[in-house]
Amino acid sequence: MRLATGCADVARAAADLGSRVTVVHNACAARDAEFDGTPARAAQAHAADLSGPSGTHATIVEGASHLEAR
């Protein structure tokens, strides 16, 4: 499992190099964090991190559904 921020960064880099990218969103994780006294909940951070590459750099899928479709 990789932090969602890392997944998004790798997806962007791979797309920049010409790869077709699929990110399995439930194979990425996020954690509760805080910045300057403002909490950032894991679910919100996860959604925000993966919303960037979604549709522009990568196809975002759910793991079990993706495997069943193959």
Give the pLDDT band (50/70/90) at residue 36.
very high
Long-range contact set of residues 33-41: C-beta below 8 Å, sequence gap at least 24:
none
CATH superfamily of 2-69: Isochorismatase-like (3.40.50.850)
Residue range 38-64, pLDDT digits in tens: 998 988 888 888 887 777 888 889 988
User: Where residue 1 falls among pLDDT bands split at 50, 70, 90?
Assistant: very low
- Domain range list for the chain: 2-69
Q: What are the strands, taking DSSP E only, across the chain? A: 2-3, 22-24, 28-29, 33-35, 38-40, 59-61
CA distance 31 to 44: 10
Is the pTM for the entire model greater than 0.85? Answer: no
The pairing of strands 28-29 and 22-24 is: unpaired
- Measured in whole angstroms, the distance separating CA 33 from the mean position of its chain's CA atoms is 17
pLDDT for 17 beyond 60: yes
